[in-house]
Chains A and B, each alone.
Chain A
């Protein structure tokens, strides 16, 4: 089974801090995604990557950036955290056919 590991389960950061959320997958999957989950808004795609050093904006990229230096690792960066970025962040991965999404367990970020 593909495992998708998100480095932190719960995180509390201050407004203005730079925040790194890490996602690591242990299979050779090409596609990786970052979503945020908010009550009443469902899952919203922030950024995705189809290959190393490749990134594409999703539906809500503002205030975020990403890094994919290695195939197995996809990092989400909050350049200057704000309270409206308090959310559950989910990483997901699929292989090149886009079958069989696997989600990480999520990182619940609170910005105070």
Chain B
């Protein structure tokens, strides 16, 4: 059973508009969440994160919202640019005796159309 779900495998948005990527998780023990961005033939790069004690974190055009009661987080990109076209991974983590354990979602492919 997937602990981190990204139910939209793909999303297309017009340039200049808002892109909203969604992520749902099942484990209430997750306390740290990240978004990664991946271009073809490259490794994922870290984009933005949020701790469970917050409900919002902003970094330029990127904002992540966390709704703990709904076990849901979302990434907003505004305004969207063609260079934002990539696969976006949501990841959630929990600390155990050995350190931080990460669980990744399957990714959402965002296409920003000029």
Q: How far is the CB of A91 from chain B (nearest CB, A)?
A: 11
Q: How far is the CB of A6 from chain B (nearest CB, A)?
A: 13
Which residues does chain A contribute within 8 Å of B104, judged by CB atoms? 90, 92, 101, 103
User: Nearest residue in B to A88 (C-beta to C-beta)?
Assistant: B102
Q: How far is the CB of B8 from chain A (nearest CB, A)?
A: 11
A1 B2 Cβ-Cβ under 8 A: yes
Q: Which of A20-28, A34-42, A63-71, A75-83 contacts B (4 or more CB under 8 A)?
A: A34-42
Q: Chain A, interface size: which category?
A: 20 to 34
Which residues does chain B contribute within 8 Å of A45, judged by CB atoms? 42-44
C-alpha spacing A21/B113, complex, angstroms: 40
Which residues does chain B contribute within 8 Å of A37, judged by CB atoms? 102
Interface of A is mostly: strand
A59 B43 Cβ-Cβ under 8 A: yes
B40 A98 Cβ-Cβ under 8 A: yes
B43 A44 Cβ-Cβ under 8 A: yes
Given contacts A10-B98, A37-B102, A43-B36, contact A99 B43 (CB under 8 A): no
- B10 beta carbon closer than 8 Å to chain A: yes
**In residues 69-114 of chain B, which contact A (Cβ within 8 Å)?**
87, 89, 98-104, 106-107, 109
- Chain A residues close to B by CB (< 8 Å): 1, 10, 35, 37, 39, 42-45, 58-59, 88, 90, 92, 98-103, 105-106, 108, 110
